[in-house]
Amino acid sequence: MRFVKAQTATGHRIGVLRADDIVELAAEETTLEAHFGDDGEALNQLGEAIHANPAGEHQLESLQLLKPVEPVAMRDFMIFEEHVLPAWQMQGMKRGPDVWYEQPIGYFSNAATIRGPRDTIEIPGGCINMDFELEVAAVIGRDAVSVRPEQAAGHIAGFVVLSDWSARDLQFREMDGRLGPFKGKDFGSSLGPIFVTPDEIEGRRHGNGYELEMTSTVNGQRYGGDRWTSAYWSMEELISYSSWSSRVEAGSIVGSGTCQGGCILELSIRHGQDKYPWLVAGDEVTLGVETMGEIRATVAASAQGVWPGKKVIEFAEDVPA
């Protein structure tokens, strides 16, 4: 099944997206999360019920699309080696550090600032190096506690497109403090528009991903592209790692991290900053994953300045190396 959530005259409604891009809207259903908790059968029954008796049919592009779920938590990883390889090479490395190949590397982000697939994204205060990140996210349908990789698939309710917007200058400055990222990431992510259940794409499974194309454009110019199959880690491995000696609650999302060609930082390292400048107010960013639709976001100028609590420091001597 492929689901969307739309704003209608009577409020939020769940819809089923057909192959002809017609959305069949439910008369009353407002959330997908109410149908989480099993192996996917409840979501399948929801889709069949809507299909059998829709309240209305609409072209997908005619609807005011919302994020299909309201995540309770967000973890994000870095699973595409070719994406991060140019940065490693700039540091004189031929490949990544051993730990990257031994276990998934990720961090927690801010679920409270996740926006919908058509919402404007505002540059955070003090940022001049604004970037996007094209990713896929798994939506967790059942709590996962210390699950093994081979058990994790049963905890995935569906998949969606994710953009982890990034203030690169803020991000790298704070990471000089040997922690983070934090404020370089927590101001906003975008999600949606189409929630795809695992059975919908199972026939396209290959390696650690799926044979689905991922593309990014800015102001109508194609920036980069990849296929999910180039991932080094699978979603099941990310979920297992996240849950080990811990708990990944239903309603959480787990992001893949940026695919190859999926952000300006990588592209500018490969091809130069002049060809791939940082985002500015007014830019139109489109990030798509085959079968999952596109995030289309307009970049807006910051309404805030630099954080006012920043201190001016003076040291008598340098910090020892």
CA proximity to 104, closest of 210, 232, 266, 205: 232
221 contact partners, CB below 8 Å, separation of at least 6: none
If asked whether residues 133 and 265 sit together in one domain, one would say: yes
What's the pLDDT score for residue 291? Answer: 98
If asked whether residues 88 and 202 sit together in one domain, one would say: yes
Domain count, the chain: 2
What's the pLDDT score for residue 319? Answer: 63
Residue ranges of the chain with per-residue pLDDT less than 70: 316-321
If asked whether residues 231 and 279 sit together in one domain, one would say: yes
If asked whether residues 127 and 30 sit together in one domain, one would say: no
The token pair that represents 303 in the structure block:
């309404």
Distant-in-sequence contacts of 221-226, Cβ < 8 A, 24+ apart: 223/261, 223/264, 223/267, 223/276, 224/134, 224/259, 224/260, 224/261, 224/262, 224/263, 224/266, 224/267, 225/260, 225/261, 226/80, 226/82, 226/83, 226/259, 226/260, 226/261, 226/262
- Residues 271, 290: Cα–Cα separation, whole Å: 26
Q: What is the CATH number of the domain that holds 174?
A: 3.90.850.10
What's the pLDDT score for residue 316? Answer: 61
Q: Is 314 domain-assigned?
A: no
- Residues 37, 60: Cα–Cα separation, whole Å: 28
At which of 19, 46, 66 does a domain end?
66
Task: Report whether 143 contacts 248 (CB < 8 A).
Answer: yes
If asked whether residues 160 and 53 sit together in one domain, one would say: no
Query: For 238-292, where are the E strands, in sequence order?
Result: 247-248, 253-255, 284-289
- Residues 209, 231: Cα–Cα separation, whole Å: 6
Q: What is the pTM for the complete model shown?
A: 0.96
If asked whether residues 236 and 295 sit together in one domain, one would say: yes
At which of 66, 91, 122 does a domain end?
66
Count of all residues that appear for the chain in the document? 321
Q: Is 318 domain-assigned?
A: no
CA proximity to 233, closest of 203, 266, 256, 260: 256
* Residue 79: CB atoms within 10 Å: 28
Per residue in 267-295, pLDDT tens?
999 999 999 999 999 999 999 999 999 99
Residue owning tokens 């992510």: 189
SS3 297: strand
If asked whether residues 125 and 251 sit together in one domain, one would say: yes
- Residues 95, 39: Cα–Cα separation, whole Å: 38
Q: Is 311 domain-assigned?
A: no
Q: Is 198 domain-assigned?
A: yes
If asked whether residues 49 and 83 sit together in one domain, one would say: no
If asked whether residues 138 and 22 sit together in one domain, one would say: no
